[in-house]
Homo-oligomer: A and B are copies of this chain.
Amino acid sequence: MGYFTKRYHPPGTSPGTLQGSGEAGLFPLKLYLTDYTNTEFTEHDLATPEECRGYLDRDSITWIHVQGDAEAQTLRELGALFGLHPLALEDVINSGQRPKADDYAEQLFVVLAHPVTAAESPDVNIAQLSLFVGKRFVVSFHPGKDDPFGPVRRRLREHTGRIRERGADYLLYALIDLVVDEGFPVLEMLGEAIEDLEEEMLDRPGPDALHRLHNLRRTMLVVRRMLWPQREVLNSLVRDPSGIIGDENHVYYRDCYDHTIQIMDLVETYRDMITGLLDVYLSSVSYRLNEIMRILTIIATIFIPLTFIVGVYGMNFVNPDSPWAMPELRWYFGYPLVWLLMLAVFGGMLVYFRRKRWL
């Protein structure tokens, strides 16, 4: 994932322009319709948005979920059916939006960030979830291949809890809650990755660990950038409901807001931990270098003078007439005396180093 993940129209484009990326979507687009009252429940796939027109005037809650990369035509038809604002539809196409909750009279447009982990690695992808909610409908957009809302649809189908008895605002809550809570397994996985890395850093710091540390930091940066505004979004939904969200559901939104705070707390702790790990890494590396240099110093400073001494007696001053021409070489105990000298130098150095606490 690159750093710049936002799609945008060329500057100067007319606002509300719906203009696809031009590429064919990676995955075929799917439209699921779910329509329910307390007593009835219908769900089926739609071929075109038009097919849902029959459900709109009824007294039921209608939920259209669009899975995959929505192209301009579908958006235009849905916009016409539900009266969605062109600026909001433009934000669905120009994915990579910051989470936000915009209030268009009679409607709420919510953008959330859905963190998705790859199977094995600590990489995290962020998918943009876009939600329109009115008095009696929810329209949701999620790119990618797999529909994340299976559990909510099952609760609707099986009439679990009070979800069928409440309105579109409660359905919105159920969808948001699911997406927010997806943050917990992601952070659990990241927490374990940090703990693994910590152990490695203290044990055997190396360029591989450094590389992984950098990737983790990068991941945390992206996660933080996308999840931080989520907190604000939930806060604005709790406080300023614009009439769409009923008072009886405030307690649920508050609970969900709590979860976003817990997630941000964890993200901040991880960030601090990762910063701390770099310090640990640098300190470890620096200490090891120090240790190695100490040994080198000691071995070198011991042998350099000794080597000098043996070099002296390897000189070839040979004037047989001169008593000054290396008489030591001809002493009876010359050789053992040199060894004694060298042992004395060796011992003296050991004592010196020990007194300096280098050994």
Contact = CB atoms under 8 A, between A and B. Distances in A.
Interface of A: 2-4, 6, 8-17, 85, 87, 97-98, 100, 102, 104, 149-152, 155, 160-161, 163, 177-179, 181-182, 184-185, 187-188, 191-192, 194-195, 198, 202, 204-207, 210-211, 214, 217-218, 221-222, 225, 251-252, 254-255, 258, 261-262, 265-266, 268-270, 272-273, 276, 278-290, 292-297, 299-301, 303-308, 310-319, 321-322, 324-326, 329-336, 338, 357-358
Contacts of A319: 329-332, 334
B155 A14 contact: yes
A357 B143 CA distance: 45
A160 B301 contact: no
A46 B170 CA distance: 39
A210 B314 contact: no
The secondary-structure label for the interface of chain A is helix
Contacts of A195: 2-3
B15 A252 contact: yes
A215 to B, nearest CB: 10
A214 B276 contact: yes
Given A2-B191, A321-B332, A358 B280 contact: no
Contacts of A285: 283, 286-287, 290
B333 A3 contact: no
Nearest to A357: B204
Nearest to A330: B319
B12 A151 contact: yes
Nearest to A259: B8
Contacts of A276: 214, 217-218, 221
Contacts of A316: 313-316, 326, 329
A319 B328 CA distance: 9
B304 A214 contact: no
A357 B261 CA distance: 45
Contact of A312 (B202, B310, B322): B310
A184 B8 contact: yes
